[in-house]
């Protein structure tokens, strides 16, 4: 039964697939050995745990195909994909934690990200999720931030992060 659903899934062969920019915003064009798709939208079903796995849907939202690891596509395709995905999945990477204040059950974060400096608030323990070295932070307004590898940030930031994870 699971096989039925699996066989219906078309898995793209990354080596034979090229990705171009789509004509509408947020879309890409897939050029494969089996023909051409116009206007497909890339989606990440596992944006945190497996961010390179993609599902492509048509503009109506119907699934067209999947790609298991987009990093294996050629450089240009990858660039096109990443430029599109950047807006769909805006997850700034925290490089440094300058200050961490507490007031009541709230934390006020002062951080430097790869997109510039930022202040945000989190509430409760569940807004900071750690799995291994990776930390995902969801603030009170549902913005998402990520620390990709806690062992690679500076000492001060690591100390602050360790106190909340």
Partner 1 sequence: MEHVETSGIILEKLGEEERKLVEKETRPEETILSIATGDLSDDGNYSKYLFIVTNKRVLKLDEKGLKQVELEIGRITQVVFNDYLGNSELILVVDGREVPVARFSKDKISEFRHAAGVVNALLQYKDPREIEFKLYFEKNGKSRKSAIIWLMSYLKPHWYLVLTGLTLSVVITGLNLVPPSLLRTLIDQIATQKQETTLLNLTVLLITIYALNTLLGILQNYSLSLLSQKLVYSMRRDLYSHVQELSMSFYDKMSTGRVISRITDDIGRVQWFLVWGIPSLIINVLSIIGIGIIIFTMDYRLSLFALLPFPLIILGIPRFRSKARLVYHKAWRKWADVSSLLVDTIPGISVVKSFAKEKGEVNRFIERMNEVVKANLDITRLHLSFFPILGFVSSAGAAIVWYVGGLHVISGDISPGTLVAFVSYMWMFYGPIQTVTNLAEPLQQAVTSGERILEILRIDPAIKDAPDAQDFEIMGDIRFENVTFGYEPFIPVLKNINLEIRRGEMVGIVGQSGSGKTTLTKLLLRFYDVNEGRILIDGVDIRKIRLERLRKSIGIVAQDPFLFDNSVLFNITYGLEKVDLKKVIAAAKAANIHETIMNLPLAYDSPVGERGSRLSGGERQRIAIARAIILEPKILIMDEATSSVDTLAERQIQQALDNISKERTTIVIAHRLSTLQRSNKIVVMDKGRIVETGTHEELLRLNGLYAKIYKAQFAEAEKQVAVA
Rule CB under 8 A: say whether 11 interacts with partner 1: yes
Closest distance between partner 1 and the C-beta of residue 93, in Å?
16
Rule CB under 8 A: say whether 165 interacts with partner 1: no
DSSP 14: G
Residues 117-156 touching partner 1, rule: CB under 8 A, are 126, 129, 136, 138, 142, 144
Rule CB under 8 A: say whether 64 interacts with partner 1: no
124: how many CB neighbours lie within 10 A of its CB?
Answer: 10
Rule CB under 8 A: say whether 5 interacts with partner 1: yes
Rule CB under 8 A: say whether 1 interacts with partner 1: yes
Scanning 45-53, 77-85, 102-110, 149-157 for contacts with partner 1 by CB under 8 A, the matching segment is 45-53
Output the six-digit token pair for 11: 């898995």
3-state secondary structure 113-143: ECCEEEEEEEECHHHEEEECCEEEEECCCCC
Residue with Cβ nearer partner 1 (80 or 139):
139
Q: How far apart are CA 92 and CA 97, in angstroms?
A: 13
Output the six-digit token pair for 122: 């989190």
Residue with Cβ nearer partner 1 (69 or 154):
69
Q: How far is CA 93 from CA 29, 121, 134, in A?
A: 28, 16, 11
The distance of Cα 165 from the centroid of its chain, to the nearest Å, equals 21
Give the binding site for partner 1 (CB under 8 A).
1-2, 4-6, 9, 11, 43-50, 53, 55, 66, 68, 126, 129, 136, 138, 142, 144
């Amino acid at each position: 039964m699971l096989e039925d659903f699996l066989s219906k899934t078309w898995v793209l062969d990354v080596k034979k697939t090229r990705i171009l920019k789509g004509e509408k915003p947020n879309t890409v064009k897939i050029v494969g050995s089996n023909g051409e798709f116009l206007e497909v939208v890339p989606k990440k079903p596992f944006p945190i745990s497996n961010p390179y796995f993609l599902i492509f849907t048509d503009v109506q939202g119907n699934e067209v195909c999947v790609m298991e690891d987009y990093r294996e596509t050629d450089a240009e395709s990858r660039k096109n994909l990443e430029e599109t995905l950047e807006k769909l999945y805006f997850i700034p990477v925290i490089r440094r934690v300058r200050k961490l204040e507490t007031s009541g059950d709230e934390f006020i974060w002062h951080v430097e990200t790869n997109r510039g400096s930022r202040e945000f608030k989190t509430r409760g323990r569940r807004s900071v999720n750690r799995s291994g070295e990776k930390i995902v932070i969801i603030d009170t307004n549902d913005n998402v931030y990520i620390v990709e590898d806690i062992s690679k940030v500076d000492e001060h930031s690591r100390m602050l992060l360790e106190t909340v994870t």
